[in-house]
Structure 1
Amino acid sequence: MNTQTILITGASSGIGKITAKYFAEHGWNVAATMRTPAKETELKQIPNIKLYQLDVTDEASIAKAIEDAIKDFGKIDVLINNAGYGAVGIFEKATKEQIQKQFDTNVFGVMNVTRQILPYFRAKKGGTIINVSSMGGRITFPLYSVYHATKWALEGWAESLQFEVRQFGVRIKNIEPGAIKTDFLGRSMDIFKKESLKDYDRYEEITTKNMDESYKSAPDGRVVAKTIFKAANDSSFKLRYPASPQSSMFLTLRKLLPLGVFNSIVGSVIEKGFKN
Structure 2
Amino acid sequence: MNNPRNVIVTGATSGVGLALIPLLKEKGYQPILTGRNAEKVQNYAAEQQVPGYVLDVSDTGSIPSVIEEIEKENGPIFGLINNAGIWLEGEFATNKPEDIHDVVNCNMMGTMMATHAVLPDLAERGTGFIFNVVSTGALYTRKNISVYAASKWAIRGFTGCLEAEYAPKGVRVMGFYPGKISSEMYTTAGVPRDLEIAMTPHQAAEMIIMMITHENMVWSHVSGRSLSDYV
- Mapped to 2, the partners of 1:164 and 1:21 lie a distance apart of 31
- Mapped to 2, the partners of 1:170 and 1:100 lie a distance apart of 30
Conserved in 1, the CA contact under 8 Å of 2:58 and 2:102?
A: no
Give me the identity figure in percent: 30
1:114-135 CA distance string (max 9 Å, x none): 1111111122112210000011
Conserved in 1, the CA contact under 8 Å of 2:60 and 2:109?
A: no
1:138 maps to amino acid? L
2:220 pairs with 222, 229, 239, which one? 239
- SS of equivalent residue, structure 2 residue 199: coil
Counterpart of 1:43 in structure 2 is 45
1:117 maps to amino acid? V
Q: How many aligned positions are there?
A: 228
- Mapped to 1, the partners of 2:93 and 2:61 lie a distance apart of 35
Conserved in 1, the CA contact under 8 Å of 2:77 and 2:118?
A: no
TM alignment of 1:1-276, pairs within 5 A: 3-40=4-41, 41-47=43-49, 49-187=50-188, 189=189, 212-213=193-194, 215-234=195-214, 235-246=216-227
> 1:106 Cα shift?
0.5
Conserved in 2, the CA contact under 8 Å of 1:57 and 1:109?
A: yes
Alpha carbons of structure 1 residues 39 and 222: separation in structure 2 relative to 1, 3 Å: closer
- Mapped to 1, the partners of 2:201 and 2:170 lie a distance apart of 29
**What runs of 5+ residues in structure 2 fail to find an aligned partner?**
none
Structure number, greater radius of gyration: 1
Runs of 4+ in structure 1 off by over 6 angstroms are none
- Mapped to 2, the partners of 1:59 and 1:184 lie a distance apart of 20
- Mapped to 2, the partners of 1:246 and 1:97 lie a distance apart of 36
1:154-174 CA distance string (max 9 Å, x none): 101111122222232111110
TM-score by length of 2: 0.88
- Mapped to 2, the partners of 1:37 and 1:172 lie a distance apart of 29
**What runs of 5+ residues in structure 1 fail to find an aligned partner?**
192-207, 251-268, 270-276
> 1:57 Cα shift?
3.1
- Mapped to 1, the partners of 2:151 and 2:96 lie a distance apart of 16
> 1:102 Cα shift?
0.9
- SS of equivalent residue, structure 2 residue 77: coil
- SS of equivalent residue, structure 1 residue 42: helix
- Mapped to 2, the partners of 1:9 and 1:244 lie a distance apart of 22
Alpha carbons of structure 1 residues 59 and 86: separation in structure 2 relative to 1, 3 Å: closer
Conserved in 1, the CA contact under 8 Å of 2:81 and 2:133?
A: yes
